[in-house]
Amino acid sequence: MQHSSENMGLSFQVPDLKRVRLLINTDAKNEADDQYAIVHALLTPMFMNKGIIAAHFGTGRTTESMEESYAESKFVAQLMGEAGNVPIYKGAPHALPDEETPVVSEGAEAIIREALKDDPNRLFVVFLGPLTDLASAYLMEPRIADRLTAIWIGGGPYPNGRSEFNLSNDIHAANVVMSSPIPLWQVPQNVYGTMRVSLAELESRVKPHGEIGKYLFEQLVQFNSDPANVWPRGETWGLGDSPAVSLILDDLEYTNGYDTIPAPRITSDMHYIHHQKERMIRVYRQVDVRFTLEDMYAKLELFARRP
């Protein structure tokens, strides 16, 4: 379902020809930043939000990680009222067993269905966790490759790579996507790590704005306070998933924001092997932190203020 800008508390409209279709793939219960990106996307009138796909986040803390992400996505959408009225799908419950075998799920099927639609509005699918559902969709239906653009928050810094959480949860899937012709924008760890915020900033700019603002702040503080979570530092956080939203609004094409490079192959210890020169991907070297955060803060405030 689409929502007018008025329902989001905004007085401007985005022309239909400038709007894009969006699917969000999120490991929402992994920690506390996916929720900010989900809410930001739901409050962005440029987006025709086509659904949220719950992703797994490995087995380090739970054996039900996808189910936990599904429940969290439903809860966040419910707090958004009418603006959260989008389909929510279950993705793969675990990583690919190898690079040839998809993990069939309703999330992968939703990606295929949306990609194959006869729709002039460009389709973006953003991945805030592992690439399992994109790789599965592609293995199930290779025709989707030139019918979407994927944005992935994940992978270590270039040129060498290193251990990184989202990548660690499905290296096979990352290699499937890297070797495919799917247009891919990668935001690696050293870049998404620049999305730093302080808890005081979030208490001032997020918490006062409605039930959803209060929840966004309190669930992050709760995660920070859990003695099991030894990171991050006591008063700061990283909203590393939020560039998946702002890079669609402005992809930094004219500000030297990214490099177009040959896609690497990724080793089992998450290092990059630069082995070919034909398949190219976009790798971001920076994101606009001010633009990303201020757009989110403004939309939250205006949404809370609406009649």
- How many angstroms separate the Cα of 150 from the Cα of each of 167, 187, 278? 15, 11, 18
Using one digit for the tens of pLDDT, what is the confidence trace for 180-221? Answer: 999 999 999 999 999 999 999 999 999 999 999 999 999 999
So what's the pLDDT on residue 2?
44
Using one digit for the tens of pLDDT, what is the confidence trace for 264-276? Answer: 999 999 999 999 9
Percentage with pLDDT > 70 across the chain: 98
Burial class of residue 233 in the structure, from the number of CB atoms within 10 Å of its CB (0-12 exposed, 13-18 middle, 19+ buried)? exposed
Per-chain mean pLDDT for the chain = 96
Domains, the chain, in order of start with CATH, read 18-305 (3.90.245.10)
pLDDT at 228 over 90: no
User: Is this structure's pTM higher than 0.85?
Assistant: yes
Q: Which two tokens stand for residue 85?
A: 């009225």
So what's the pLDDT on residue 227?
80
So what's the pLDDT on residue 224?
85
Q: Which two tokens stand for residue 60?
A: 């380090």
Show the DSSP H helices in 180-226 as ranges: 189-192, 199-205, 210-225
